Amino acid sequence: MRGMNTSDNKVRNIRAKDPFDILIFEKGLRIKNILIDKDLDLIAVILNNGKILESTISSYPRLKGATIEQLNKWNLINNGVGISWDELDEDLSVKGFIKTAALNEMLDHLQSPINKKRAAV
């Protein structure tokens, strides 16, 4: 019987390389609260640094068909790393909200007309 090499079984503290993971797991960015307005098709995610990320309820099929009572039955998971709607079987992460907000901001930027002052030569 060969000896077992236990050095490969040790837990290592490896620093994240993904900028989103650095924000969340090393700098402690978390969801503090959320506000939901079904009439406006809006989820506002309030972060512990005071920033607010917006998303649409209709972007999430399980949330889209939910009643306002169901939408208001959410819980923070993992100390604010995510949000869970147990009754709707839906979990969303702060990382996903950040990526969606960044993507939407860039799409808006790319679709807006070029500033005439910048375009003039």
Task: Kindly report, residue by residue over 19-47, the tens digit of the pLDDT.
Answer: 889 999 999 999 999 999 999 999 999 99
Q: Give pTM, 2 decimals.
A: 0.76
Domain 17-113 annotated CATH 3.40.50.970: no
Distance CA 91, CA 30 (A): 15
Q: pLDDT tens digits, residue range 94-115? A: 999 999 888 888 888 898 887 6
Residue 2 has pLDDT above 50, yes or no: no
d(CA 21, CA 24): 5
- Specify whether the CB–CB gap between 79 and 30 falls below 8 A: yes
- What are the beta bridge partners of residue 55? 43
The neighbouring-strand residues paired with 31 are 47
Q: Is-contact 76 82, C-beta < 8 A?
A: yes
For residues 78 and 2, the model is more confident at 78
